[in-house]
Every structure is written in structure tokens, then in C-alpha cells.
Amino acid sequence: MELRKMLKVLIRIPGNVKIKGTNLSKLIMDECQKQGILGSTIIQCIHGYGERDYKPHILRGIGDLPIIIEIIDDPIAIQKFIPKLKKLVQSSGLITVEEVYAV
């Protein structure tokens, strides 16, 4: 069994962030496809808090629930993609990168 070193990017954003009327999560996924990223997944969260004020989902509405986008690819592809990702996310969220190994 051969393990491949890859990078996993996690992007945490509020679900209601839009750029020119389009959800940021959709823009990120579209850009992943354009760049030929190996895989990405959107995970809708049910609770979360961070730098911004936290309100229970009952008070803030479903559209504002946190979203996590997970992207996995080889290190070279991720390093090329990060500048575009930073430009999209700006101050709307948090981007983390970690090494992972895939079979």
C-alpha cells in the first residue's frame, strides 16, 4: 500500500456570504472545478461560533449557518490554488491547510 502526501484545505465561512449575488461557497466550488482540483466537499454545519457574534440558529436563520468547504489535492495544485482562494474568501472566513496522506 502506497501512501500519497496531499494537502487538505478547510475553509470556514458563514452560509450567507454572497459576492455579486452568488453564494461564496458556490463560487469556491466553481473555481475548484475550473482549476481541476481533485476533490472538494461542502459541509453545512448546525452550530458554530468564532470571531463574529454567535446566535443560535433559531435566531439567525438557516442561511447563516456555518459552512466548511474541504478541498484535497496534491501540494503543487493546492499551492497554486491558494492565492485565488484567498482572493475569494478575503475577510469572510478562515482558511487552514494541513498535510494528509491518501491511499
Which pLDDT does position 52 carry in this prediction?
60
Q: Please return the burial class of 41, using the count of CB atoms within 10 Å of its CB with bins 0-12, 13-18 and 19+.
A: exposed
Segments forming the whole domain that contains residue 25 = 4-102
Other Cβ atoms less than 10 A from the Cβ of 37: the count is 21
Per-residue pLDDT of the chain (103 residues; tens, 9 = 90+): 899 999 999 999 988 899 999 999 999 999 999 999 999 999 988 777 776 655 555 555 666 788 999 999 999 999 999 999 999 999 889 999 999 999 9
Which pLDDT does position 58 carry in this prediction?
59
Count the domains in the chain: 1
Q: Give the CATH number, domain containing residue 9.
A: 3.30.70.120
The answer to whether the CB of 20 falls within 8 A of the CB of 70 is no
